Amino acid sequence: MRNLRFPIPRLLAVIFTVFAVWLPAQSNAQNHDRDRLVIGISQFPSTLHPSFDSMLAKEYVNAMARRKITVYDHDWKVTCLLCTDLPDLAKRSARYEKTPDGKDGMALDYALDPRAVWGDGTPITTKDVLFTWDVGRHPETGTDSSELYRRILSIDVHDDHRFTLHMDRRSCDYQGLADFNLLPAHLESGVFEPAADYRKRTLYDRDPANPGLWYGPYRVTQVNPGASIVLEPNPLWWGKKPYFKQIVVRTIENTAALVANLLAGDIDMIDGATGLSIDQALSFEKRHGEDYQVIYKPGLIYEHLDVALNNPILSDVRVRRALLHGIDRQAISERLFAGKQPVAHGQTNPLDSVYYGDGPKYTYDPSKAAQMLDEAGWPMGAGGIRRNADGTALQFDLMTTAGNKSRELVQQVLQSQWKELGIDVTIRNEPARVFFGETVSKRKFTGLAMFAWFSAPQSIPRSTLHSEMIPTEENAWAGQNYTGYASDRMDKTLDDLELVCEPEANRKLWEEMQTLYAEDLPALPLYFRANSYILPTWLKGVRPTGHQYPSTNWVEEWTVTE
């Protein structure tokens, strides 16, 4: 009978050995496959159609499989990716002209790269340009914004590759055509009509692995909705051949799980734009920095406090200036973000070529702030809170997105430093859905609202500063001038910035705009956010850009160390 006993200890030992030896071996076999790169991001694109739903995750994936006509490069200069030359006023490939109704317009000459072909071998031609224009300007298509397409009054086609756009207005940033997202006429024209249902029928969602939709170094070969997108080299790509035989972009929305997946070797890298926040990256670097490359790239994400200018307290510019003098933004940057997120003195990033560094700056000076508040009629009152002559306390709400750890930390520091000045700040946070969907977009905040703007280099801040862009019920809450800032001087400067293109005059306008912003302070600048990229030590060639055109626009430069 003894021999028939179940050998549990032995069985357990065998099972443990299998798990301990065989499973890790399986896992490692995958991890060390250097022909394959697995990238972790925290959001999944809602669509791969280039003209629907503007989102970073989609830009990141699409940049590997299709190229925009122009983008901003690593030095934040406009460059051609699909065209051969940028239109230029000096070369007469950009010209001023009159529109049919007699207004000032522009003609812009472009030529598509003659080597460019869709992934099924069909050449990329001006037929695609015309089809894209038709889709973009059609009122029922449902594209995010048809503004660019509507500005194009007509297109002259010269041959298969050369065309001229006739624009309805003059503009100094005429060279860029990044939002003109080329579509394959030979595939998409068959599903375009009726336009109102185009979004439901587009092949970018119904047949995303169709090679004819793509023309980048890679093409999408598999989409697992919500989970992953697989890309493989496009054999018809005309540029430098990419290194990796397969790139998998995996979505893991929880950032703690994202890190765990990286440590477990299930993903190789975490992208910066849609990955970890700066505090998470700093914490990761402390513990695992030796095993990975951690890159911090400050960029065009401008963290600031929008001011409700209809609040009688905050409508006084002296109070706004005092508020800025009363907070130590340098210490916030150094202590909370290890100095990786530079202090902002305005909304234009110092890395931007149009940045003006000699405008007013508000360094930390609590005694000056106190003096300014005294002069503004807010002397210190009982209980350490300042009150005006009517007895009204100097108090307002400070709002941001609930659950955003970095913002909530900054918020507490601000509250504490302003408290020392005799300002009573109440923190009132809301879920992002409510905060952006209602409170900010419909201008319902009554004090300060902390959030970030993401813009392009040399972007004229018309939508946030022009008085025509104040959201109201009458204009269906369109526009992003949530503070309600209205200044004739600023309006004129912004208008001129779009029209006065002579370099010296244009530079002066940028200076004036930034000076006005710093003097009027419709928003209180905090810092420029940095994106944190966590890459394996063996990966090279990844160059974060800091702007909205991601590093994957140059994915063919990515390779591995020997």
Partner 1 sequence: MIRFLATRLLQCLLVLAVMSFLIYALIGLMPGDPIDLMIAANPDFTSADAARLKALYGLDQPLLKRYGNWLTSALGGDFGYSRLYSQPVLDVIGPRLANTALLVGISLALSLLLAIPLGIAAAARPYSVIDYLVNLSCFAGISAPPFWLALMAIMLFSVTLGWFPAGGQAPPGASIWEGIQHAVLPIGVLTLASVGGFTRFMRASMLQTLRQDFIRTASAKGMTRTRVIYGHALRNALLPLVTVIALSFGTLFSGALITETMFAWLGMGKTIYDAILGNDFNLALVGLLMATGMTLLGNVLADISYVALDPRLDFRAEEP
What span, in angstroms and rounded, lies between the C-alpha atoms of 462 and 426? 31
Q: Which is nearer to partner 1, 63 or 470 (CB)?
A: 470
**Beta strand 246-251 with 104-111: parallel, antiparallel or unpaired?**
unpaired
Which of 434, 409, 414, 438 is CA-nearest to residue 424? 414
Q: Which is nearer to partner 1, 93 or 210 (CB)?
A: 210
Least separation in angstroms between CB 504 and partner 1: 27
Least separation in angstroms between CB 142 and partner 1: 6
Least separation in angstroms between CB 405 and partner 1: 15
Q: Which is nearer to partner 1, 205 or 374 (CB)?
A: 205
Burial class (CB in 10 A: 0-12, 13-18, 19+), 416: exposed
In this structure, the dihedral spanned by the alpha carbons of residues 455, 456, 462 and 465, taken in order and rounded to 10 degrees, is 30
Q: Which is nearer to partner 1, 305 or 313 (CB)?
A: 305
Q: Which is nearer to partner 1, 42 or 514 (CB)?
A: 42
Least separation in angstroms between CB 378 and partner 1: 33
What span, in angstroms and rounded, lies between the C-alpha atoms of 262 and 203? 33
Count the Cβ atoms, other than its own, within 10 Å of residue 41: 26
Strand order in the sheet with 424-427: 218-224, 228-233, 246-251, 36-41, 269-270, 523-536, 292-307, 448-454, 395-399, 424-427
Contacts of 453 (CB under 8 A, 6+ apart): 301, 302, 304, 347, 464, 480
Report whether 558 contacts 542 (CB < 8 A).
yes
> For binding to partner 1 (CB under 8 A), which residues are involved?
19-20, 23-24, 27-28, 46-47, 49, 52, 54, 139-140, 142, 144-148, 179, 196, 199-200, 202, 205, 222, 224-228, 230, 250-254, 256-257, 260-261, 263-266, 433-434, 436-441, 455, 462-464, 471, 475-480
What span, in angstroms and rounded, lies between the C-alpha atoms of 29 and 26? 5
Burial class (CB in 10 A: 0-12, 13-18, 19+), 60: buried
Least separation in angstroms between CB 445 and partner 1: 13
Least separation in angstroms between CB 266 and partner 1: 5
CA distances from residue 392 to 78, 313, 382, 436 in whole angstroms, order as listed: 52, 10, 12, 30
Least separation in angstroms between CB 319 and partner 1: 27
Q: Which is nearer to partner 1, 440 or 448 (CB)?
A: 440
Q: Which is nearer to partner 1, 54 or 392 (CB)?
A: 54
Q: Which is nearer to partner 1, 12 or 478 (CB)?
A: 478
Least separation in angstroms between CB 15 and partner 1: 11
